[in-house]
Amino acid sequence: GAVVSQHPSWVICKSGTSVKIECRSLDFQATTMFWYRQFPKQSLMLMATSNEGSKATYEQGVEKDKFLINHASLTLSTLTVTSAHPEDSSFYICSARGLGLGNEQFFGPGTRLTVL
């Protein structure tokens, strides 16, 4: 139980285009979802926290107009990287916390974004 999936697992795009990454909780309702970014050989950096039906809370230094987060349902959150540039190339990981599942965050497998 408590499985989180991400789609796509990897994506390559041209500079200037937008890319959408989906995060789904497969067998539980996710009241809160988190988006992290991880550069090679570095730790996970929290980008934003989103609660279903409300606007995401972004961490300091994360551009909300560049990284659009939508958490429209209890099982789906999306991260859209707008006007992507090579420096946005990274590993994007989502996690979710669910109703009745305590404090534990369940992590997705990550999405590797490469911007050419």
Q: List, in sequence order, every residue forming a beta bridge with 67; answer none if it has no partner.
A: 81
Shortest Å, Cβ 16 to other proteins: 26
Around 100, how many Cα atoms within 13 Å sit in the side-chain half-sphere? 5
- 40 versus 86: smaller Cβ distance to other proteins: 40
Angle ∠(20,48,63) on CA atoms, nearest 5: 75
Shortest Å, Cβ 49 to other proteins: 5
Binding residue (CB under 8 A) for other proteins from 3, 53, 104, 116? 104
User: Per-residue contact track with other proteins, 40 to 79, x per CB under 8 A?
Assistant: --xxxxx--x-------x----------------------
- 32 versus 70: smaller Cβ distance to other proteins: 32
Q: Is 114 in the site for other proteins (CB under 8 A)?
A: no
**Site residues, other proteins (CB under 8 A):** 4, 6, 32, 34, 36, 42-46, 49, 57, 91, 93, 95, 103-110, 112
